[in-house]
């Protein structure tokens, strides 16, 4: 049985011309007779011909496929970055293979190998919370395959990346808490493996410093983002001799889990404890009271990441990031104030 797909050769045979001519006609090569071209295009249309990108990839050694590697797709953050990236990629004629690894380092390494085996033209990455070893990414770079990081980046590696100003965002979030009169502000931070954690923590510390509020080490805890553990840490905060009057968390799911615990303890939000999250997940708007949080321009992060990658792919001179500083894009955040820090008017 013949293949269920029609090829360039089928068209060539039907028109009694060579496959080279058909190829040229379809790719818009200038040196092909206008009449020949239109006959080819017409038949291709009629037969609903689709060129085989796999064969194209083999022949030209570039696949027009981009790998997108994210730790998870269950929150709204990564899906919306992906959507933004795909928008730009599609426009430029590229397609994306999306890989997620449920925050597992091993799965991440396997996925990079998978993407490489597909000869992708470039990879956009936000690494897992477990990733401390970046050899697999370094290998990609050494092979000359364009790579872009977003959100979670690394000091060790010189990779083009797009981030938000985590430091400033955290600083402003904490300053907001100070401005509404809070003085004992707890911070439930993320794992040290994530650079964002460090930056946000520094923003937290510097905001306190600026307003001459002493830092209480009891009020800062780093945790591994396993939501089940939030209860323990929040309880710990609440049972301190001097419990906090505000809480700033590494992300929105953490804040929402914390709010649940606080409410169960019979405390009121924001009266007893004001809460601020990070990222403006869809759910931040849905919970009650609404969660004050830092909004990230997720779509734009995806778009920028795709743009950076395409620059590297299409640039004629290969950028050697072992010599040259990799470009980075830093996008603005916005503090969204809701009822978890400020009571609504007229309520």
Partner DNA sequence: CAATCTATTGGGAATGTTCCCATATTCCTT
Partner DNA sequence: AAGGAATATGGGAACATTCCCAATAGATTG
Which spans of this chain sit near a copy of itself (rule: CB under 8 A)? Answer: 3-5, 50-55, 57-58, 61, 63, 73-74, 76, 79-80, 82-83, 95, 97-98, 100, 102, 113-114, 116-119, 143-145, 256, 282-283, 286-288
Pair 129, 193: CB distance under 8 Å: yes
Contact assessment for residue 276 and residue 293, using Cβ atoms and an 8 Å cutoff: yes
CB of 73 to a copy of itself, least distance (A): 4
Per-residue CA distances from 11 to 47, 49, 216, 302 (Å): 9, 9, 76, 40
Q: Which is nearer to a copy of itself, 55 or 215 (CB)?
A: 55
212 binds, among DNA, a copy of itself, none (CB under 5 to 8 A by kind): none
Rank residues 57 and 327 by Cβ distance to a copy of itself and give the closer one.
57
Pairing of strands 334-336, 293-295: antiparallel
Binding at 215: pick from a copy of itself, DNA, none (beta carbon under 5-8 Å per type): none
CB of 340 to DNA, least distance (A): 55
Please, which residue, 58 or 232, has the CB nearer to a copy of itself? Answer: 58
- Residues 119 and 343: their CA atoms lie apart, in Å, by 54
Question: Which entry of a copy of itself, DNA, none binds 32, CB below 5 to 8 A by partner kind?
Answer: DNA
Residue 144 CB, nearest approach to DNA (Å): 14
Q: Between residues 134 and 167, which has the closer beta carbon with respect to a copy of itself?
A: 134
Q: Of a copy of itself, DNA, none, which one does residue 24 interact with (CB within 5 to 8 Å by kind)?
A: DNA
288 contact, one of DNA, a copy of itself, none, CB 5-8 Å limit per kind: a copy of itself
Q: Which residues contact 5 (CB under 8 A, 6 or more apart)?
A: 50, 52
Which of residues 39 and 285 has its CB atom nearest to DNA in the complex? 39
How many angstroms separate the CA atoms of 30 and 18, rounded?
16
95 binds, among a copy of itself, DNA, none (CB under 5 to 8 A by kind): a copy of itself
Q: Using CA atoms, how far apart are residues 95 and 93, in angstroms rounded to an integer? A: 7
**Sequence-separated (6 or more) residues with CB below 8 Å from residue 346:** none
98 binds, options a copy of itself, DNA, none, Cβ within 5 to 8 A by partner type? a copy of itself
Q: By three-state DSSP, how is residue 104 classified?
A: coil
Which lies closer to a copy of itself via its Cβ, residue 166 or residue 281? 281
Residue by residue, DSSP assigns 127-188 as --TT----HHHHHHHHTT--EEEESS--SSS---EEEE-HHHHHHHHHHHHHHTT---EEEE
Smaller CB separation from DNA, 12 or 169:
12
Q: At what angle do helices 252-264 and 230-238 cross, to 10 degrees?
A: 50
Let me know the angle formed at the C-alpha of 247 by 335 and 197, rounded to the nearest 5 degrees: 70
Residues that bind DNA (CB under 7 A): 3, 5, 7-9, 16-21, 23-24, 26-27, 30-34, 36, 50-52, 55-56, 58-61
């Amino acid at each position: 049985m013949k293949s269920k797909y029609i090829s360039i050769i089928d068209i060539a045979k039907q028109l009694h011309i060579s496959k080279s001519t058909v190829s040229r006609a379809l790719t818009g090569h200038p040196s092909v007779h206008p009449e020949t071209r239109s006959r080819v295009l017409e038949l291709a249309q009629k037969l609903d011909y689709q060129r085989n990108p796999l064969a194209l990839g083999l022949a030209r050694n570039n696949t027009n496929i981009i790998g997108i590697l994210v730790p998870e797709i269950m929150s709204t953050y990564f899906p919306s970055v992906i959507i933004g990236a795909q928008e730009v990629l599609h426009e430029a004629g590229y397609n994306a293979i999306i890989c997620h690894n449920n925050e597992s380092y091993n799965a991440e390494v396997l996925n990079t190998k998978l993407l490489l085996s597909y000869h992708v033209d470039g990879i956009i990455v936000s690494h897992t919370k477990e990733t401390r070893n970046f050899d697999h990414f370094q290998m990609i770079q050494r092979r000359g395959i364009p790579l872009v990081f977003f959100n979670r980046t690394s000091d060790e590696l010189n990779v083009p990346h797009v981030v938000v100003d985590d430091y400033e965002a955290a600083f402003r979030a904490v300053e907001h808490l100070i401005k509404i009169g809070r003085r004992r502000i707890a911070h439930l931070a993320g794992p040290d493996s994530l650079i964002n954690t460090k930056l946000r923590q520094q923003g937290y510390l510097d905001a306190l410093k600026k307003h001459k509020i002493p830092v209480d080490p009891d009020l800062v805890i780093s945790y591994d983002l396993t939501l089940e553990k939030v209860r323990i840490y929040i309880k710990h905060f609440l049972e301190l001799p001097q419990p906090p009057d505000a809480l700033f968390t590494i992300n929105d799911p953490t804040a929402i889990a914390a709010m649940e615990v606080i409410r169960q303890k019979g405390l009121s939000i924001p009266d007893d404890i004001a809460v601020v999250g990070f990222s403006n997940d869809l759910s931040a708007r849905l919970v009650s009271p609404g969660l004050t949080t830092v909004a990230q321009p997720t779509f734009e992060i995806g778009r920028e990441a795709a743009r950076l990658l395409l620059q590297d792919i299409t640039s004629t001179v290969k950028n050697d990031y072992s010599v040259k500083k990799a470009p980075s894009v830093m996008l603005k955040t916005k503090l969204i104030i809701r009822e978890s820090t400020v009571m609504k008017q007229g309520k």
